[in-house]
Structure 1
Amino acid sequence: MSLIPFLLFAFVASITPGPTNILVLSNSQHFGVKNTVPAILSGCLAASLIVLISGAGAGEMLRHYPLIRQVMSWVGMLWLSWMSWQLFSAPAANVSVKSHSRFTPRAAALLQIVNPKTWMLALAVVSLFAPASSHPMRDIALMAFCFLVISIACLLCWAWLGKAVNRVFRTTVAMVRFQRLMALCLFISAWAGMLA
């Protein structure tokens, strides 16, 4: 197994903006980093388990049964669209009050499970970085663990960015504009994943 290229791949996959990153940022903006950590851990653990499960062969199912992949895509896209609407439509008064929809650990894990992009990423990890290993399950378990550590670190960066947003956008109007921009980014990332 080639570990350095895999670590770079895991870092890029985890740090680049996507639905989970945007929801982590928004959640930490409203509830703080400490209250966002459970969602981060849950989402990262679910994604790492998907890498492990894909290595055990379940990822192949998505290749052979496109209908399952399609259903997962639609469920994930509709759910993310609903979450982006919740974020976009929160009134100005609710930005400072803790009434914003929370990104729960359960929601973070479910997002990974219904997101076919996570499964395809896991399948790419298994096929690209551990295809000819003499100990494939050991190497896949190591990759899943490394992916877990890297993704936690990257999502913590997004959570800290969410906390910094509160210092940068001090007025309610500025905060709502930022919140709506994040909602649009979430909506676009959901539909872009569907149309890709």
Structure 2
Amino acid sequence: MTIETIIAIVALAAGTVWTPGPNNAMLASSGARFGFRATLPHAMGVAVGFPVMCFVMALGLGQVFEAQPLIGEILRWIGAALLLRIAWKTLNAKPPGTDQGAAKPWTFLQASAFQWINPKAWVMAVSMISQFVTGVDPVREAGLVAGIYLLVGLTSANGWAGFGAALQRFLSTRGRMLAFNAVMAGLIVLTVVGLIFADLRPGA
């Protein structure tokens, strides 16, 4: 790949991972509820999980989904249902410092596994693979794309978690926390709406 292509991948990666979506809304919410340190496993799971997904898809898994579109449809509706459940839980999250019962931040494995049913992650992966993985040297190309997403994703995941954690004191009242939760939940619901119309086929 040329320097120009690498710069284009970095720019596209930064634009996609920093924009609001399920991962970022959930990280901000977790940071606000549990603090930055407790949210770190969640952030690392997002930052590592998506590049791994990208790498595997670029090496041929995407062709499986292209040949079996029913798999993509199943993941679409599972993802939509899960996101709506997450949006509801986010909307009803309690202010920082209050008794949150059994609520816990996501683990590294939970956040990594979530990428496979995260519609924004699918759209990002499909777009990146179709544009920059030509198949001439698939392992090298897939590794480069995944590596760039890993580095950029680390800044984004930790940035959104830190953003939420920085608001902890401000969100100590019920009204402010409810307003914050409504915005984060709304971002997740908007993703579900987009998911219904998204074309998740590789190369589409």
Compute the TM-score of the two structures, normalised by the length of structure 2.
0.85
Instruction: Tell me the alpha carbon deviations over residues 131-176 of structure 1, each in whole angstroms, 9 at most, x when there is no partner.
Output: 164x331122122111111111111111111012223334222122
Distance 1:90 1:52 in 2: 34
Quick one: distance in 2 between partners of 1:23 and 1:30? Answer: 10
| Per-residue CA distance 1:100-152 (angstroms, 9 max, x = gap) | 4533323312220123542342232223123164x331122122111111111
What is the alpha-carbon distance in structure 1 between the residues aligned to residue 94 and residue 121 of structure 2?
32
CA contact 2:94–2:100 (8 Å) conserved in 1: no
Please give the per-residue CA displacement for 1:65-87, whole angstroms capped at 9, x wherever unaligned: 22111100111110111111112
Determine the structure 1 residue equivalent to 2:130.
127
- TM superposition score normalised by structure 1: 0.88
Query: In 1, are the aligned partners of 2:79 and 2:118 still within 8 Å (CA)?
Result: yes
Separation of aligned partners in 2, 1:91 and 1:129? 43
Residue of structure 1 in register with 2:201 after alignment = none
User: Alignment partner of 2:60: what SS?
Assistant: coil
Which of the residues 107, 115, 131 maps onto 1:112? 115
RMSD across aligned C-alpha pairs, in angstroms? 2.1
1:85 aligns with 2:88: yes
Contact 1:59 1:120 (C-alpha < 8 Å) held by counterparts: no
Structure 2 vs 1, CA of residues 195 and 124 (structure 1 numbering), >3 Å: closer, same or farther?
A: closer
Structure 2: state its 5+ residue gaps.
199-204
Alignment correspondent of 1:30: 33
Note the residue ranges of structure 1 that are not aligned, 5 or more in a row.
Answer: none
Paired residues, what number?
194
Aligned-pair CA distance for 1:54? 1.4
Which of residues 188, 191, 199 is equivalent to 1:189? 191
Given that residues 50 and 115 in structure 2 are in contact (C-alpha distance below 8 angstroms), is that contact kept between their aligned partners in structure 1?
yes
1:7, 1:120 → 2: CA distance?
17
Change (3 A) 1:195 1:119: closer
